[in-house]
Amino acid sequence: MKPYRFIISGGGTGGHIYPAISIANELRKRYPDCAILFVGAADRMEMEKVPAAGYEIKGLWISGIQRSLSLKNLMFPFKVIKSIRDSYKILKEFKPDVAIGTGGYASGPLLYAAHKKGIPTLIQEQNSYPGITNKLLSKKVDKVCVASDGLDRFFPASKITLTGNPVRQDLLNLQNLRSEAVAEMNLDPERKTLLVLGGSLGARRINQLIDEHLDVLKNDVQIIWQCGKFYFETYKNKAQDGVQVHAFLNRMDYAYAAADFIISRAGASSISELAIVGKPVIFIPSPHVAEDHQRKNAEAVVKKDAALMITENQLEEQFLSTWNTLIHDHALQEKLSTNFKKLALPKATEHIVDLIESFLHAS
């Protein structure tokens, strides 16, 4: 039997790229001789990240519509037409058994063309409020994998499977790692630890918040502050006894294992990881994300009594009171942890690939 061939499209942000790479890794694990080709937007970060993960990628001339009036918007119809034509050409040459999309501009033309050619298609939606590409594609594709309840408001219910988002497998046994993590990160085992996460690039408003309230926070906890590479030069001098400042954390499993409390943005992948981690979290969603995804993601968790949320425009009036409530209310801490763990779907990647396999066995 000839080796299986899979084509995967997802990009624009890490939230689309890393799930796509996780799916590819699981496919390669199950079918070591399979062929995998990625398709991305020619000028986006997937053109760098995917080859770094060991996979070939082809780029399409595609981008989104600008929110403001822009000459670039006049080019959008031409980009779509050319990208669909190029997608047909790629599909004809590569001859995939299944086409998989994880969101982003390029997945629209590719999955549309795959559907038209009769190739089995599957999309994976990371957010609790889907992006426009996946909303449109859901009417065409065969299966839709989602990470939270209630998406039958946007997608055909008959196509939906709740799988969760792919997450790092090194997060599954954190309870056995705490002592090692505390020692490796030079933390005081007798003190509680706050982990602050703003993403690899950093989050300006979260960094300002921690800087502003550092004296109050360090009285309650020791702090692992991941400020991001863009802000490290600004905040590295804030490191002191009980306060660590990092541009990037290479061992997220250690950071999560050592943490007692977490302040974080609310990207879909982060939420999926934090559900497995199961620590009390204060979400501060980024207001600069398309379609306000992060606020909607955080709200979906807050509605389950599984986390707290403060929007950026409420930080001045709400942060200290929220923090003081959380740090002193042990029943609240326990409730948030317990409820967040209930939302965890640690075998998401395996479940998604099981669905992809169902296409192979049906053909």
Residue 277 CB partners (closer than 8 Å, separation 6+): 171, 174, 256, 259, 262
CA–CA distances in Å: residue 298 to residues 189, 223, 301, 302, 310: 30, 23, 5, 6, 9
Q: Are 63 and 120 in contact (CB under 8 A)?
A: no
Note every long-range contact of 92-97, with CB atoms under 8 Å and residues 24 or more positions apart, other chains counting: 94/5, 94/7, 94/35, 94/37, 95/5, 96/5, 96/6, 96/7, 96/37, 97/4, 97/5, 97/6, 97/359, 97/360, 97/363
The answer to the question of whether 13 is labelled as a binding residue is yes
Give me the amino acid identity at 308. L
| Residue of 86, 114, 81, 112 whose CA lies nearest to 6 | 114
Neighbours of 303 (CB within 10 A): 12
Q: What pairs with residue 38 in β-bridges?
A: 8, 57
| Residue of 113, 109, 112, 107 whose CA lies nearest to 125 | 107
The answer to the question of whether 168 is labelled as a binding residue is yes
| Residue of 114, 105, 84 whose CA lies nearest to 17 | 105
First to last CA, the chain: 13
The answer to the question of whether 200 is labelled as a binding residue is yes
Note every long-range contact of 295-298, with CB atoms under 8 Å and residues 24 or more positions apart, other chains counting: 295/266, 296/127, 296/128, 296/129, 297/127, 297/128, 297/129, 297/266, 297/267, 297/268, 297/271, 298/266, 298/271
What residues are designated binding site?
A: 13-15, 127, 168, 200, 294
What residues are designated binding site for UDP-N-acetyl-alpha-D-glucosamine?
A: 13-15, 127, 168, 200, 294
